[in-house]
Amino acid sequence: MRSLNIGATGMLAQQLNVEVISNNIANLNTTGFKRSRAEFQDLLYQNERRVGSTSSDAGTTIPSGIQVGLGVRTAAVYRMHEQGNIQPTSNPLDVAVQGIGYFAVDLPTNEIAYTARGSFQLNENGQIVTADGYQLRGPGQVPQNAQSITINSSGEVLVKVPGQTQAQNIGQINLTTFVNEAGLQAAGQNLFMQTQASGEPDDGVPGVEQRGTILQGFLETSNVNIVSEITNLITAQRAYEMNSRVIETSDQMMSTLTQMR
């Protein structure tokens, strides 16, 4: 019976759906996290009576035919890159992007990664780095005797040092955009990597060419909506139960056949 395999594909699809939803809920409080959504598509169809074939010598055609589907499969896990809420922190090295764009950081492998998480720190050399020590591209070294750090909406990093009346510009934070943000590959640690599907990175000054602006002393929260995720979780659970019921019903029908005398 095809229904056994069809029900099994439905259960596997909903199992992955629950895993995606679970990961969203687990990262509810992860700064800059972008939620994901599983997308499904139907499998091949078996033609028991082909649509459009002739049904008589007079050339009449079959208007609908008989096609039996073979189940469902996961087509993609699509990442939703809409912006989360902006939350104040009062930390001068916390920055959020108001609009579109990612911060670029240098990895130890000499690769460039991109992140929406703007919670930066200073390392022992005065460089602005992520929580894992990856250096933010653009700004230079912050002087050891710096009294304050200001990051304006255009990404300029200005530091105030004793003996100078004007702030010293130590570099520029650029924002990177992509033609297809969903094509970025998640690498963990709130980092994304460029792929062929994402297109080439486009670096530029914040606030220029539709890029977002930078807010100092703020962080972008996760864009997970807990109410929607719980609703999706309940829906996936019910769909899983219905597919398991299909398998149970098919098993009962086969049992009935074997008991016939």
**Per-residue pLDDT, 116:** 92
Q: Is there a single domain that holds both residue 24 and residue 40?
A: yes
**Per-residue pLDDT, 121:** 93
57 pLDDT more than 70: no
Q: Is there a single domain that holds both residue 103 and residue 216?
A: yes
Listed in sequence order, the residues at least 6 apart from 176 whose beta carbon sits closer than 8 Å to its beta carbon are 101, 102, 103, 104, 114, 201, 202, 203
pTM above 0.85, yes or no: no
Q: In the 8-state DSSP scheme, what is residue 60?
A: -
- Predicted confidence band of residue 233 (pLDDT cuts 50, 70, 90): very high
How large is the angle between the packed helices 2-26 and 226-258, nearest 10 degrees? 160
- Specify the number of domains making up the chain: 2
Q: Is there a single domain that holds both residue 251 and residue 216?
A: no
Q: Is there a single domain that holds both residue 216 and residue 244?
A: no
**Per-residue pLDDT, 201:** 94
261 pLDDT more than 90: no
Q: Is there a single domain that holds both residue 121 and residue 74?
A: no
Q: Is there a single domain that holds both residue 90 and residue 216?
A: yes
Read off the pLDDT of each residue in 10-35 and give the average, rounded to a whole number. 94
Percent of the chain with pLDDT over 70: 98
**Per-residue pLDDT, 207:** 92
Q: Is there a single domain that holds both residue 176 and residue 117?
A: yes
Q: Is there a single domain that holds both residue 172 and residue 241?
A: no
60 pLDDT more than 80: no
Q: Is there a single domain that holds both residue 76 and residue 105?
A: no
Read off the pLDDT of each residue in 177-190 and give the average, rounded to a whole number. 91
Instruction: Provide the domain limits for residue 140.
Output: 86-220
Q: Is there a single domain that holds both residue 67 and residue 159?
A: no
Listed in sequence order, the residues at least 6 apart from 15 whose beta carbon sits closer than 8 Å to its beta carbon are 240
Contact 215, 87 (CB under 8 A): no
Q: Is there a single domain that holds both residue 100 and residue 153?
A: yes
Q: Is there a single domain that holds both residue 113 and residue 185?
A: yes
Read off the pLDDT of each residue in 164-191 and give the average, rounded to a whole number. 91
Residues linked to residue 40 through DSSP beta bridges, in sequence order: 74
